Amino acid sequence: MRIPVDYLIGERRQPKRALHKVHDEIFRRISPALDWKMIDYYSPLSVLRTLKLKFVFGLSYASSEVIHPLAVGMKIRKGSIYHIHNQKLGSILHYIRLTPSVLTCHDIIEYVRPEYNENPFVRVYIRWYHLGAMKADRLIVPSKFTKQDIVRHFGYRGSNIDVVPNGIDHDVFRPRPGKSFLKLQSYPEDRKYILHVGSEQPRKNVDLLVEAFLLALKKRRDLTLIRVGAPDEIPGHPVRARILKMLRDADAMNRVIFLENLSEETLATVYNSADLLVFPSSYEGFGLPPLEAMASGIPVITSNTTAIPEVVGDAALMVSPDDPQGIADSILSLLDNSSLQQELIRRGLERARLFNWDRSAARTLEIYEQVASRFGISTVR
């Protein structure tokens, strides 16, 4: 017997991001137990977003507020559980009553962080879809912190929020001998490589990390920073330009390697080639890079805020994300302490084993079973 689930996955042809990874990994594992249907829509105006004109950008998203409800209304099946892919699709619940609805809320970063709310139109849009998301009958979140954040900001009933931590693929992110990425790219192997993985959104504090790196570089000339991720994801916040100016002023352009659009397998080899990961983000709903680094067998320095301590436990050095000198000191002290490195590697590998997609998938299936029972959803053969 299979549980009927309609997945509302949003706009077709949108670039895949981490939130798609979460859905794909879980769905792949539980789909045999489901009578499932994927529901998406196509917006003819989406191609105009490549023009990066504010009024066109706004028009394309406004159109989705009409097209999406129409598509959902035509495609959903009666008698299903309706699982909404992420919080950005929450506005659908303003237009259509979907019962029972389950919504995966990865975080409420855009609601609480000021850099996302500078444009009045964007501010209204962000508030609109978050308030819609809170109409779901049940929420799935990746961390206790995100659950607490939702309760604090929206007053949503905590008993209807389920914490399902993200996982990682341990066949991909694992210790590997040698530093294959450095050898493949002919990078000097006699240096110490500091790694950062993530976007350049202001909350990621990449500019502060570069400042910390330059402070550490004054005391150790064998350092190189590997920066993995796309530049400048939020309009009006030119993080990459600030980083490049800092490097030029310090005559250190040749000490930073910029990488983006890496496959998961290539990213794993980058982790294995680094000496440590530094992840000084000031706000995360979960935070995958520290977990991937720990599973790869490298020590981690990360922030002591939001969901990150919940993920890393006692397996990382935690610092204030707003203190470049403190970050620099942590980098230098860890590089000079081989016994601490080995201890963090041991703890990290042990901690990372607690997070796997099989466990996340099993918990998600349990939630479907509970929702089906509560709302009288009939299973099918």
- For residue 51, give the CATH number of its domain: 3.40.50.2000
Domain match, 155 and 27 both: yes
Both structure tokens of 269: 């080899």
Residue 312 forms part of a structural domain: yes
Per-residue pLDDT tens listing for the chain (381 residues): 899 999 999 887 655 566 788 999 999 999 999 999 999 988 776 655 555 555 555 666 677 888 889 999 999 999 999 999 999 999 999 999 999 999 999 999 999 998 888 888 888 989 999 999 999 999 999 999 999 999 999 999 999 999 999 999 999 999 998 899 998 899 998 999 999 999 999 999 999 999 999 999 999 999 999 999 988 778 788 999 999 999 999 999 999 999 999 999 999 999 999 999 999 999 999 999 999 999 999 999 999 999 999 999 999 999 999 999 999 999 999 999 999 999 999 999 999 999 999 999 999 999 999 999 999 999 987
Domain match, 122 and 199 both: no
How far is Cα 294 from Cα 317, in angstroms, rounded to an integer?
A: 12
Domain match, 158 and 204 both: no
Answer positive or negative: Cα dihedral of 195, 197, 199, 205: negative
Residue 239 forms part of a structural domain: yes
Domain match, 41 and 106 both: yes
Q: What ranges in 186-323 are assigned the alpha helix state H? A: 206-217, 239-249, 264-273, 288-296, 308-312
Owning domain of residue 64: 3-167+357-375
Domain match, 8 and 124 both: yes
Count of domains for the chain:
2
Domain match, 20 and 155 both: yes
Question: With a threshold of 0.95, does the pTM exceed it?
Answer: no
Domain match, 268 and 361 both: no
Decide: residue 330, CB within 10 A, 0-12 exposed, 13-18 middle, 19+ buried: buried
Domain match, 41 and 151 both: yes
Domain match, 346 and 366 both: no
What H or E segment, with its residue span, contains residue 300? Answer: strand 300-303
Domain match, 307 and 363 both: no
Residue 174 forms part of a structural domain: no
Residue 42 forms part of a structural domain: yes
Domain match, 39 and 143 both: yes
Bridge partner residues of 36 (DSSP): 5
